[in-house]
Copies of this chain bind each other. A is one copy, B any other.
Amino acid sequence: MAKATIVWTKIDEAPALATYSLLPIMRAFTKDADVEIELRDISLAGRILAQFPDILPEDKRVPDELSYLGELVWKPEANIMKLPNISASVPQLKEAIKELQEQGYPLPDYPENPQTEEEEKIKERYDRCVGSVVNPVLRQGNSDRRLAKVVKEYAKKHPHRLKEVSPHSKSHVAHMKDGDFYQHEQSVIIEKDTKIKYVFEDKDGNQTVLKEVEVGKGDVVDGTFMNRKKLREYFAEVIDRAKEDDILFSLHVKATMMRVSDPVIFGDAIRVYYSKLFERHSDIIEKLGWKPEFGMQELENRLEQLSEEEREAVKKTIEEIYKERPRMYMVDSDKGITNLHMPNDVIIDASVPAVIKNGLQGWGPDGETDDTVLCIPDRSYATMYKEIVEDIKARGQFDPTKIGTVQNVGLMAMKAEEYGSHDKTFFPPADGKMKVVDEDGNVLIEHCVNEGDIWRSCITKDIAIRDWVKLAVNRAKDSGFPIVFWLDEYRAHDRNLIEKVKEELPKYDLSDVDWYIKAPQDAMKFTLARFRNGEDTISVTGNVLRDYLTDLFPIIEVGTSARSLSIVPLIAGGGVFETGAGGSAPKHVEQFLKESHLRWDSLGEFLAFVESLKLAYKQLKTLHQKDNPRILVIADALSKAVGKYLENDKTPKRKVGQLDTRGSHFYLALYWAEALASQTEDKELAEKFEKVFAELKENEEKILSEIAATEGKPADIGGWYHPDDEKAEKAMRPSETFNKIIDSLLES
């Protein structure tokens, strides 16, 4: 009998613990609906073990589930619940290896400095487990992000606080007038499969090939650069203006994501703001090997290496600078961490919404809030932020009880656009030319650049773009909302995308699709007009705006982006349902180990599972010609249950003795059963769950007390990275009464 298979990923830390409690519930409630839930281990420990089938004894071997999923995502039946996992650092990797060794897995040590060829090979295997390795495998599609209806409705009834904004606010976005990436962009659509070369040509005509890349017909290849001289002039001007306005100075970039270019931009802000430091102490700076790209924190750290006299001289200069320059926007004013302390500290997609939430203000060095200039150098992104900031100054703060919702369809697949540009970002070693040349010697892109300018190329794959348009159309049809392509016809890359969008759109029935193409600033204006009017809109954007907008709007609407649905509708037709924007929450595990209280909120999993079930219904129908509306009934009931869960505030609480994850799962089950019992579409199911609901309701106190009884004592789960399943399950399912009800469903 054909069933739809949902893969539930076994991952790490808090969400992994929550899974022990939650997965049985999910299985129990979907048992009669032709849905099967498979657990697939892509935890760090699981991935490590999967690297060594040759070394491990047979009973300890594990299959390489990530590879399996990597194949699955290219099949139409893929339906994956992707919970947050660890993107391991090397220290984490080593800890995990040690834990596994102690559990009796005969793994080799991690050879940090491999001496032999064998060690090299071992290191290579281990290195496959380091860093962000899961997302690149699973994200074989574009991005569909939105707030589930229940979450949005809850926020409208229980609005979070957005600080009022004075119309006299001096806060504003300042971008470059010229010389930025926006201005210089060139873009081509590749006419036939070819290999392109990135070439630097010096003034004497000497050429250096910096990189070669294969590109396919229809791919969009861009090149552009940031003129560093103009960038610094811009910083100087903004700093002067901020001083004159007596407002805070803040820079908003994304060094974590644009990890090659943005640290350099960040460094230039330091070069200009702290110019006196470089004028006076260039020798010391050189001696310390410090570069402004490292941030001021690293300079402070390295100052320890200096003689007291030198150190004091530098510190005195810095103090002088703070007096002469505009006050700095602080990341943490209590700890004295400025906006320019660490390049990774100010992350534009989080920091601009934070300023908006805070009434268009930041925190100054005195710990007080104040207006601030938001430096966003490149006009590709700055203008849309400028639009929303000025909109707020003109029309006042948003009212979460009245605003509509803004969903996003993002061009993310196959390392689309800027976010795939790291290995194609170059700093010309001298004044000269940067060129992109194809196999036939055609110069596709050419720029005159100066030494040190930031030159960057992005590639956007044809298939990714087509799929993105399809997704946008599908979302428009599903939702009935207008879709707005945020593309600027006066920007070269966007122009090529517009061409492709206009090529793709007519392939669909657009009779019920209200679509627009608007430059980001205009798109923002249009979207905000609707937003304030309580109307809903889908932003269809490139990869960077995807990243920015999927924080911006959820934060304004519901106070956080962590409650968003994050779906990757796969190019091959399946779907990945990502949960937990906040990571795997090691602190929650620490608390659980200490006092058996877990405060992981599975809301993201609940919501994602609703969508996963909807996909399962579709898959059954299209792949197996089986129309099973029961799946939708179950999904719908879950959605209602989540509404009640929020309404009755059954999210886990912080402190021991309060409701925790396990108790919150009980309530989810209770409300889910109630919703199934009270629905009328599927009578058989209603009858079945009427009983379940009655049993759960009747035993509410008992179940909660059985859970509560475990609290306040340490928990033993037999491992951090690789817990003992039996122990962990016991710890996470402490209520015999609840287990009996769930298990009887599973066995029925």
Contacts and interface: CB of A to CB of B under 8 A. Distances in A.
Interface in A226-244: 237, 241, 244
Given A167-B526, A522-B390, A183 B178 contact: yes
What copy number does this chain have within its complex?
2
Interface in A378-407: 390-391, 393-395
A458 to B, nearest CB: 19
Interface in A249-302: none
Contacts of A34: none
A105 interface: no
A540 to B, nearest CB: 16
A489 B177 contact: no
A404 to B, nearest CB: 13
Contacts of A736: none
Contact of A526 (B394, B521, B522, B530): B394
B489 A241 contact: yes
A147 B489 CA distance: 39
Contact of A167 (B168, B245, B516, B521): B516
A179 B528 CA distance: 31
A394 B490 contact: no
Nearest to A234: B490
Contact of A490 (B237, B489, B522, B525): B237
Contacts of A179: 178
Interface residues of A, number: 28
A172 interface: yes
A525 B241 CA distance: 22
A555 interface: no
Contact of A183 (B177, B393, B394, B529): B177
B522 A393 contact: yes
A245 B522 contact: no
A241 B178 contact: no
A52 interface: no
A747 to B, nearest CB: 57
A696 interface: no
Interface in A167-199: 167-168, 172, 174, 177-179, 182-183
Nearest to A533: B395
Interface string A148-172: 0000000000000000000110001
A391 B525 contact: yes
A182 B241 CA distance: 17
Nearest to A517: B170
B172 A182 contact: no
A522 B183 contact: no
A172 B522 contact: yes
Q: Which of A237, A391, A516, A525 has the most CB of B within 10 A?
A: A525
A523 to B, nearest CB: 9
B393 A489 contact: no
Contact of A394 (B182, B245, B525): B525
A178 B177 CA distance: 7
Interface in A484-518: 489-490, 516
A224 to B, nearest CB: 12
**Which among A179, A245, A390, A393 has the greatest number of chain B C-beta atoms within 10 A?**
A390
Contacts of A528: 394
Interface in A513-566: 516, 521-522, 525-526, 528-530
A90 to B, nearest CB: 44
A381 to B, nearest CB: 15
Nearest to A230: B178
Nearest to A515: B168
A241 B490 contact: yes
Contact of A525 (B177, B390, B526): B390
A505 to B, nearest CB: 13
Nearest to A502: B244
Report which residue of A178, A241, A516, A521 has the largest number of chain B beta carbons within 10 angstroms of its beta carbon. A178
Interface in A346-397: 390-391, 393-395
B526 A393 contact: yes
Contact of A489 (B183, B245, B529): B245
A528 B525 CA distance: 13
A182 B178 CA distance: 11
B394 A516 contact: no
A420 B393 CA distance: 34
Sort A-B residue pairs by CB-CB distance and give the 6 closest, nearest first.
A178-B178, A394-B529, A394-B526, A390-B522, A394-B525, A395-B529
Given A172-B522, A395-B529, 13 more contacts: A167-B526, A168-B516, A177-B178, A177-B183, A177-B490, A178-B178, A241-B490, A390-B522, A390-B525, A393-B522, A394-B522, A394-B526, A394-B530
26 contacts: A167-B516, A167-B526, A168-B516, A174-B490, A177-B178, A177-B183, A177-B490, A178-B178, A178-B183, A237-B490, A241-B489, A241-B490, A244-B489, A245-B489, A390-B521, A390-B522, A390-B525, A390-B526, A391-B525, A393-B522, A393-B526, A394-B522, A394-B525, A394-B528, A394-B529, A394-B530
